[in-house]
Amino acid sequence: MKPATVKPFPARSISALVLVFLLAAAGLPARAAMSRGFNQLLDAVVRIDVRELAFEAGARRYSASIGSGVILSADGLVLTNAHVASNRAVELNITLASLERVGAKLVGWDHWTDLALLRIDMDEVKRRNLKFTHADFGDSDKLYPGQTVYAVGTPYGLSRTITRGIISNNNQYLKDLQGVNGYETGLFNTWLQTDAAINPGNSGGPLVTEDGKVVGISTRGYSGANNLGFAIPASTAQRIVAGLVRDGVITRSYIGIVPKELQDLETFYSLAANTGMLIDSVDSGSPAAKAGLRGTDILLALNGAKVDGRFPEQLPAIQNLIASQPVGASLTLTIKRNNETRDFTVVTEKLESRVGEEWALEKWGLSVRKVSRTFARERQLDDETGVLVIGVQPGYPADVAGLSRGDVITKINQQPVNSLEVIKAAQAAYEAKPAPTLFEVQNNRRVSLYILKP
Amino acid sequence: MNVRLFFLSALVLVPAALRAQDLPALWAERTKCIVAVEYVTETETDRQPSISMGTVIDANGTIILPSGAIDPRAATWQLKEFKVYLPGDATGSPAQYLGQDAFTGWHFVRADEKIRSQLTPVTAFALKGPPPVPALAEFVWGLGLRPKDEDFAPYLMESHVVLIQSLPQRTAIAQQEVAGPGLPVFNQSGALIGLGASAFGQTYLQFGSRGRGPQQVTLINVEESMAFTLAGEMLPYLGRIPKNVSGRPLAWLGAYGLEPMDRDVAKFLKLEAQSGAVVSEVLEGSPAEKAGLKDRDIILALDGKPLPQLKPDRVVVDYIEREIERRAPGDTLALTVLRGGERVELKPLLGEEPKLLREAERKYFDRLGFTAREFVYGDAVERRAKTSEATGVIAHFVKPSSPAAIAGLRPEDWIKEIDGVEVKTFADAVAKLGEIDRDQARAEFVLLVSRGGETAVLRAKLK
C-alpha cells in the first residue's frame, strides 16, 4: 500500500466531486446534541470564498478557493486556516449562517500554525443590518481520547455541514507536513486527531464539543486514509488570535537547532530517563552554530529549566518555548556532549520563513521570490543577495534567454540584486528603453550569464 | 538489426560506381583490428559484467575502448577479469587493464600474447602523411560487432558523410549508423578515416497503444553510431598509453563549474568572433587560486589563443578541459580573463589532480551493512566543505535491509562521528567500525551523519 500523505484541504475542485446517493435509511443519531450552545455555534460558522493572487509562471494569476471559518467576536473576527486565507488573498467573502454574503479583510496570518484571522466588514454589516453570533473557545487541554466532537464547516462548498466523531488522539505529532503553500508549518504545535469526517473545504472550520465550544480548527486530513483528520488545538489558536489582534503578525525567536526525540537513546548517552532532548542538526550560520552547538549534543536545560524530549510529541512544546523568547534574548543552553556538561549562551534572532516576498516581472515573463536568510543558509549561498526564479512564461524574454525555475538571479547589468526593488527598477528601465540586459544567475553553484533581449 | 535487409537497402541506395569491388575483402582484412572486451565490476554484494567494443592500436595488442566503456565511479581494483574476444569467436582470452587517458578519454586494455598474432593494428590501414579528411557526401564504411550470443560476429555498415563539426574534436556525422562506438571507420579505398564516437540522442515521437501520445522521447543507439571523430583526432594520440592504472599524472587547474555563454552574451561583453566561459568557483588550494583566478572571472583565452565559438555552446567547456588534460602537471597554462570589465593575464602552473573518488580507499563492513570510503578532495568540493577542515568518511554503499540501512544511512552520507567520537581520518573510522563489527556482544552503534548541510543522529541496532 502506498503511504498516505497528509494534505491541507483547499477545496479547489468542487466540480470534481461525485455525489453518491446512499439509499439506506439512516437512523437518527442516538443523541442529537442540540444544546443552546451548540445552536449558537452553528450560527457562527461561515463559508469563506477566497480569491488569491499568485506569481506563477511569470505572470500574475488569480485563483479561487473555498474554506470554512468561525466567528469569534461580536466585532467580526473570523478564525480560519492560513492555507485558506493568506497574504496572497486579494478578495475575501464571508457567507454567514443567514446565507448573507459580506466582505472581509485579513487581520494577519501565521503559516507556522496554519491559522489566519479575518475581520468582517462591520460597516457593511451595520448598513445591511446583518446578524451573526459568535463562538467561544473551550479548553482543548481537557480533551480526552474517546470524547465526542463535531466538525462543522462547508466541505466542497456545501452549505453548513456537521460531521461527528471522537477525539482519536489529543496530542498527536505530525512530522514532515507539506507546507502551507510552500511556507513551513507544524513545528510549534501538536494536533488533535479525530475521526469526524473532514473533507476538502472543511479547512478552517471549528471542531467543537457537545456544548458548542471550539476546541480546535479543522486543518488537515490524510488523503487515501479513512477518518484521520487533524485540527489545531484551541490552546494554540487562542494564543495566535491574541497575537494577531495585537500585532498583526506572530514574531518568534530562532536559534537554529533541529530537535529529535531521545527515545531509547538514554542509555547510550548515559542519561536518566525523561531527561534531555537530542539535537539532530544545527543550521549552518545560525545562532546555535555560532555558539558552537552541533549535532549529537543533548539539550538538558533551557535557562535553567529542565527539558524533556523523550518522545516526538514533546518536541513542539520545546520548540515553542524557544520561539516564545524575545528576539535578541540571551538563552542559556545546558548541553551534554560526550561526558561533559556545560552551558552555552545563544542569542536568538527573529525566525524567518524560507519563502521570501514574491513578484511577477510580466514584461520578462519571470516570477521571482526574494532569497531569504533561511533559504540562503539551506542552499549554502554566500549571502542573501538575489532572487529565486519561481516560474517563467514560455516564449517570453526570460525563457528565451534560458532562465529556468530554481535559478537565483544575483546580478542584473553587473548590479547586485539585493532586493526586489532592484529587479523591479531594472524591468522599468527595460520597459522605458528596451535594450539587451545582462543577467548573472546561479544554480546549484554554477554561475551563468544570460541576455534578455527585447 | 537485420543484417540482410540492411545490405539490400544499401545496394539500392549506393550507386554501383561508388562501391569498391573489393569491399568484402577490405572488410574481412579490417575485422582483425577490432575486438570485444568483457570485464566484471565487483561490488560489495554483486558482480556486474560489461561488454564494450575496442580497436587494436599496436603490435603489442594494445586496445582502446571509448570513455563510456567503464563507470568512472568504479575503483580500478573493482574491475576484474578483463577478456578479449576476437570477432566471431566466443572463446575469450585474458587481458590486462592499463588505465584511462584523461585527454582522449580512452581506456587502454592489453590482449594476451597468445592472440596478438591474430590481431592487426588499425594503424596498418592508416595512410602515410596527414590523416585524410572526408569530403561531404563521401562514401564511408565501418565495422560493428554483434552481441556475445552471436559470437561477436563482425558486420559492415555503409554511409555517407553529411556534416563535419568541431565538438571540439573534428567529428563527422554520417547519414546513418556507420560504426560501433570505438570501432574504426574507413573510406572507399579502405584507409582509416575515423573512430566511431558515442552515438547522439535522436528524438522520436512515441504513440501509446490506446491512442495516447505523441510523446517526445530521445533514443540513443548504444551499439551503432552515426558519428565518428576524424583520424586526425585519433592517430596523434595513440601513444598516450597510461603509465599506470590510475592514469596519473593528471593535470589540474581547479576552476570549478565552467559555464559557457551564448552569442548574445559574448556580443554584450564585446567579444567578437570568440567565446568565453564563466568560472563559477575557484577551488581551495588549487593552482587557479594560487595564480589569482577569482570566482566569476570569465576565461577569454588560453595561452593567448581566444576561445573559439563552437556549437553547441557547451562545447567550449570541453575545449578548455581538453586543453588542461592535454598538458601535464608542472606545465603553465596562461589564462586571459575578464574581471569586472578589465582583462587580466594569469599564469597558473598546473598541479597534480587531488586524489579522485575512484582512488579513494574503501572498506566494507558486512555486519554493519555499509562501506566506508575515504573522504577525498572531490567530496569536500561537492559538500562545500573546507578541504583543510574536512574530517570523517563517506558511506559509499549501504546494503539494503542491513542495520545501517534500517537506521537510515544512505549512500553519500558524510559520517562525522561514530559512537559520539569524532572521526578524524579514514584509518580512524576503519579501526572504530572494525571494532564494532567484530564485537559480537554489541547491540547498537550511533552515527552522526551530514546530508545536504544538515546532520542527523542515526542509531543502528545490531541485535
Q: E strands of A128-209, at which residues? A: 148-153, 161-172, 191-194, 206-208
User: A410 Cβ partners below 8 Å, 6+ apart?
Assistant: A385, A386, A416, A417, A440, A441, A442, A447
Partner residue opposite B278 with nearest CB, options A269, A281, A447: A447
In this prediction, residues B204-220 reach a mean pLDDT of 86
> When comparing pLDDT for A265 and B260, which is higher?
B260
**For residue A214, is pLDDT > 90?**
yes
Looking at every residue in chain B, the average pLDDT score rounds to 92
Torsion, Cα of B370, B371, B377, B380 (10° steps):
10
**For residue A5, is pLDDT > 60?**
no
Q: Which three cell numbers stand for residue A239?
A: 494564543
Please, which pLDDT band fits residue A13 given cuts at 50, 70 and 90? very low
- List chain A residues with CB under 8 Å of B268: 436, 438, 451
CA-only gyration radius of chain B, Å:
26
**For residue A27, is pLDDT > 90?**
no
User: Using the beta-carbon criterion (under 8 Å), do A448 and B421 form an inter-chain contact?
Assistant: no
A350 burial (CB, 10 Å; 0-12 / 13-18 / 19+) is exposed
**For residue A12, is pLDDT > 80?**
no
**Does the beta carbon of A420 lie under 8 angstroms from any beta carbon of chain B?**
no
Torsion, Cα of B425, B428, B434, B440 (10° steps):
-130
**For residue A8, is pLDDT > 60?**
no
Residue A14 half-sphere exposure toward CB, CA atoms < 13 A: 13
User: A421 Cβ partners below 8 Å, 6+ apart?
Assistant: none
Q: Which three cell numbers stand for residue B98?
A: 592499463
Q: Which three cell numbers stand for residue A71?
A: 466567528
How far is the alpha carbon of A265 from chain B, nearest alpha carbon, in Å? 8
Residue A378 has a pLDDT of 87
Mean pLDDT is lowest, of A200-214, B17-31, B436-450, for B17-31
A432 burial (CB, 10 Å; 0-12 / 13-18 / 19+) is exposed
Mean pLDDT is lowest, of A66-80, B9-23, B62-76, B381-395, for B9-23
User: Using the beta-carbon criterion (under 8 Å), do A283 and B454 form an inter-chain contact?
Assistant: yes
Q: Which residues of A23-39 are buried (b: 16+ CB within 10 A; e: fewer)?
A: eeeeeeeeeebeeebbe
> 563539426: which residue's cell?
B165
Active site residue A235: no
Residue A159 has a pLDDT of 81
Helix (H) or strand (E) holding A320: helix A315-323
Residue A255 has a pLDDT of 97
Cβ atoms of residues A278 and A247 within 8 Å: no
User: B414 Cβ partners below 8 Å, 6+ apart?
Assistant: B375, B379, B383, B392, B393, B394, B395, B449, B450, B451
CA distance B297 to B280: 8
Q: What is the ipTM of this complex?
A: 0.84
Q: List the one residue out of B286, B153, B275, B176 whose CA is nearest residue B225.
A: B176
Rounded to 5 degrees, φ, ψ at A179 are -65, 180
Q: Which three cell numbers stand for residue A218?
A: 479543522
**For residue B402, is pLDDT > 60?**
yes
User: Using the beta-carbon criterion (under 8 Å), do B420 and A338 form an inter-chain contact?
Assistant: yes
CA distance B84 to A212: 83
Residue A36 has a pLDDT of 79
In this prediction, residues B172-201 reach a mean pLDDT of 95
- The answer for A 288-347 residues in CB contact with B (under 8 A) is 294-296, 338
What confidence tens digit (pLDDT) does each residue in A318-377 have? 999 999 999 999 999 999 998 899 999 999 999 999 999 999 999 999 999 999 999 998
Distances (CA, A) of B139 to A271, B176, B189, B196: 81, 12, 10, 15
> When comparing pLDDT for A98 and A30, which is higher?
A98
Active site residue A114: yes
User: Using the beta-carbon criterion (under 8 Å), do A448 and B262 form an inter-chain contact?
Assistant: no
Handedness of CA A380, A385, A386, A387 (dihedral sign): positive
CA distance A435 to A429: 9
Distances (CA, A) of B407 to A269, B413, B415, B444, B453: 17, 12, 13, 10, 19
In this prediction, residues A190-195 reach a mean pLDDT of 94
Distances (CA, A) of B297 to A26, A160, A387, A437, B340: 76, 64, 22, 19, 8
CA-only gyration radius of chain A, Å:
24
In this prediction, residues B83-106 reach a mean pLDDT of 95
> 535557562: which residue's cell?
A303
Q: Please confirm whether the linkage preceding A287 is cis (ω < 30° from 0).
A: no
> When comparing pLDDT for B391 and A266, which is higher?
B391
Q: List the one residue out of B398, B377, B382 whose CA is nearest residue B43.
A: B398
Please, which pLDDT band fits residue A1 given cuts at 50, 70 and 90? very low
Residue B3 has a pLDDT of 39
Q: List the one residue out of B261, B283, B282 whose CA is nearest residue B271.
A: B261
User: Using the beta-carbon criterion (under 8 Å), do B281 and A445 form an inter-chain contact?
Assistant: yes
Residue B282 region by backbone torsions, left for phi larger than 0, else alpha for psi between -120 and 50, else beta? beta
Residue B212 has a pLDDT of 76
Query: Could you give the percent of chain B with pLDDT greater than 70?
Result: 95
Mind spelling out the 3-state secondary structure of chain B? CCHHHHHHHHHHHCCHHHCCCCHHHHHHHHHHHEEEEEEEEECCCCEEEEEEEEEECCCCCEEEECHHHCCCCCCHHHEEEEEEECCCCCCCEEEEEEEECCCCCCEEEEECHHHHCCCCCHHHHCCCCCCCCCCCCCEEEEEEECCHHHCCCEEEEEEEEEEEEECCCEEEEECCCCECCCCEEEECCCCEEEEECCCCCEEEEECCCCCCCCEEEEECCCCCECEEEEHHHCHHHCCCCCCCCCCCCCEECCEEEEEECCHHHHHHCCCCCCCCEEEEEECCCCHHHHHCCCCCCEEEEECCEECCCCCCCCHHHHHHHHHHHHCCCCCECCEEEEECCEEEEECCECEECCCCHHHCCEEEECCCCEEEEECCHHHHHHCCCCHHHCCCEEEEEECCCCHHHHHCCCCCCEEEEECCEECCCHHHHHHHHHHHHHCCCCCEEEEEEEECCEEEEEEEECC
**For residue B27, is pLDDT > 60?**
yes
What confidence tens digit (pLDDT) does each residue in A38-66 have? 888 999 999 999 999 988 888 888 999 99
**For residue B257, is pLDDT > 90?**
yes
| Domains recognised in chain A with CATH numbers | 1-251 (2.40.10.120), 253-350 (2.30.42.10), 355-452 (2.30.42.10)
User: Using the beta-carbon criterion (under 8 Å), do A436 and B417 form an inter-chain contact?
Assistant: no
**For residue A21, is pLDDT > 80?**
no
Residue A56 has a pLDDT of 83
Q: Which three cell numbers stand for residue A210?
A: 457537545
Domain B251-352 of CATH type 2.30.42.10: yes
Q: Which three cell numbers stand for residue A222?
A: 490524510
Determine if the pTM surpasses 0.90: no
Residue B24 region by backbone torsions, left for phi larger than 0, else alpha for psi between -120 and 50, else beta? alpha
Q: Please confirm whether the linkage preceding A436 is cis (ω < 30° from 0).
A: no
Helix (H) or strand (E) holding A218: strand A214-223
Torsion, Cα of A387, A388, A392, A396 (10° steps):
30
Superfamily (CATH H level) for B362-461: PDZ domain (2.30.42.10)
How many CB contacts within 8 angstroms connect chain A with chain B? 85
Query: Could you give the percent of chain B with pLDDT greater than 90?
Result: 83
How far is the alpha carbon of A6 from chain B, nearest alpha carbon, in Å? 22
Could you give the angle at the alpha carbon of B446 between the alpha carbons of B411 and A336, nearest 5°?
130
- List chain B residues with CB under 8 Å of A278: 457
Distances (CA, A) of A302 to A199, A318, A322: 40, 9, 8
Q: Which three cell numbers stand for residue B396?
A: 559509499
**Does the beta carbon of A133 lie under 8 angstroms from any beta carbon of chain B?**
no
Domain B251-352 and domain B362-461, same fold? Reply is: yes
Rounded to 5 degrees, φ, ψ at B320 are -65, -45
CA distance B96 to A204: 70
**For residue B11, is pLDDT > 50?**
no
DSSP state of A30: S
Helix (H) or strand (E) holding A38: helix A36-44
**For residue B444, is pLDDT > 80?**
yes
User: Using the beta-carbon criterion (under 8 Å), do A378 and B280 form an inter-chain contact?
Assistant: no
What confidence tens digit (pLDDT) does each residue in B320-362 have? 999 999 999 999 999 999 998 899 999 999 999 999 999 999 9
Cβ atoms of residues A229 and A193 within 8 Å: yes
Partner residue opposite A296 with nearest CB, options B268, B417, B454: B417
Residue A9 has a pLDDT of 52
**For residue A306, is pLDDT > 50?**
yes
Cβ atoms of residues B134 and B161 within 8 Å: yes
User: Using the beta-carbon criterion (under 8 Å), do A295 and B416 form an inter-chain contact?
Assistant: yes
Cβ atoms of residues A151 and A167 within 8 Å: no
Residue A57 has a pLDDT of 84
**For residue B120, is pLDDT > 60?**
yes
Cβ atoms of residues A57 and A391 within 8 Å: yes
Give the other-Cβ count within 10 Å of B104's Cβ.
Answer: 23
**For residue B412, is pLDDT > 90?**
yes
CA distance B139 to B161: 7
**Which amino acid is located at A12 in the chain?**
R
- The answer for A 434-453 residues in CB contact with B (under 8 A) is 436, 438, 440, 442, 445-451, 453
In this prediction, residues B374-390 reach a mean pLDDT of 89
In this prediction, residues B137-150 reach a mean pLDDT of 96
Cβ atoms of residues A395 and A427 within 8 Å: no
What confidence tens digit (pLDDT) does each residue in A138-183 have? 999 999 999 999 999 988 888 888 999 999 999 999 876 678 888 9
Residue A93 region by backbone torsions, left for phi larger than 0, else alpha for psi between -120 and 50, else beta? beta
In this prediction, residues A411-428 reach a mean pLDDT of 94
What confidence tens digit (pLDDT) does each residue in A388-410 have? 999 999 999 999 999 999 999 99
Please, which pLDDT band fits residue B386 given cuts at 50, 70 and 90? confident
What confidence tens digit (pLDDT) does each residue in B282-333 have? 999 999 999 999 999 999 999 999 999 998 999 999 999 999 999 999 999 9
Active site residue A83: yes
Give the other-Cβ count within 10 Å of B430's Cβ.
Answer: 19
The structural architecture, per CATH, of the domain B127-237 is Beta Barrel (2.40)
In this prediction, residues B253-269 reach a mean pLDDT of 94
**Residue of A114, A121, A297, A399 with catalytic role:** A114
**For residue B463, is pLDDT > 90?**
no
| Domain boundary assignment for chain B | 127-237, 251-352, 362-461
